[in-house]
Each structure stands twice: as C-alpha cells, then as structure tokens.
Amino acid sequence: MARFKTLADRIEMRPVGDDLVALSLMQEVLASMGDEPDDPAARRLSVAAYPDDKDAQSEYERLMNPELDRQRRMDRDAVASVLKAAESGTVHLSATEAEALLMVLNEARLALGARLGIVDDGWGSDEGRASDPVALLLRYLTGYQDELIRVLAERLET
C-alpha cells in the first residue's frame, strides 16, 4: 500500500505499518537534541558556514540562527499537527506541510547519522549496525523520505 498519493492540489498521506511509531520517534530524537553537552546531533545541524573565519562565523550565527531556529520550529509544529491528524487515518497535506515533513525528516536523519558516527556513504551495509535500533530508525526514515520525495517530484512533472 502506498504511503503517499498525488492529488490535484495536495498530497494524500496514509500511515502504513509502523509509520506513526517511527515518526513519533523522529520527533523525540529532534526534541532531545542538545540535551547532552556534546551531542553530535546538535553539532551536525549547526555546521559552520565559515569554519576558517571566526568573526564571519560569529556574524553569520548572529544573523541566521534566529531565522533557522524559527523555521525549524515552524516545520516541526506543522509536522506535529499532521501526525496528530494521521492518528485517525489518511491526511491531506498541503505543499507547505509536505515540505515541512521533508525538512523534518532530513533533520532527524542528520541527527541520527551524527549520533551513529556516520560520516561516509555505505553505512547501510555495515553488519554491525543491522540490529541497532537507531540505525533501524534511520533506515526507516530514509525509506519514508524517499517515498515523499518521489511524490513531490511527480507533482513537479505534472
């Protein structure tokens, strides 16, 4: 059964299997970022724009961090509303909600990858991570994100 379906002016999202559990865990991962002082997830989402210029980096953070934080909060709030509605079944996503879901999925994947210490492609073939719950969640969210990207791409083609 397809999770997503392209409609004329929206995207239909239908929770399948463990989707709501995985997406709830995704929210928990994002909510926990920065709880630990050396959380690699928080560092991964705050990549330096000017790593070799301390003054430029400081100015960048002063100008951009409030806006980045505001947008992330808005995206996460939109996704929380969508997931609450999805508890009752099929949900119709606006383009804005679909994009927010895509952004939040990407943030969660980056956070999980950082916590797993993933720095290169090919991590999925690592047998040592085959049963790691964090790696399993990362794989699940990757597949979910892939399906959403495909549907969003279909909308661009029509």
Q: 104-120 pLDDT, tens per residue? A: 999 999 999 999 988 77
The answer as to whether 8 is a domain residue is yes
Q: State the residue for tokens 């991962």.
A: 29
Domain assignment present for 99: yes
In a domain, 158, yes or no: no
- How does pLDDT run across 84-107, given as a tens digit for each residue? 999 999 999 999 999 999 999 999
Which pLDDT tens digit goes with each residue over 3-16? 999 988 899 999 99
Q: How many degrees, rounded to 5, is the angle at CA 132 between CA 128 and CA 121?
A: 60
42 vs 31: CA distance, rounded Å? 11
Contact partners, residue 94, CB within 8 Å, separation at least 6 = 10
Confidence of residue 59 (pLDDT cuts 50, 70, 90): very high
Q: Which domain holds residue 80?
A: 4-153
Domain presence at residue 134: yes
Count: domains in the chain: 1
Q: Considering the domain boundaries, does residue 88 fall inside one?
A: yes
Rounded mean pLDDT, 17-32: 95
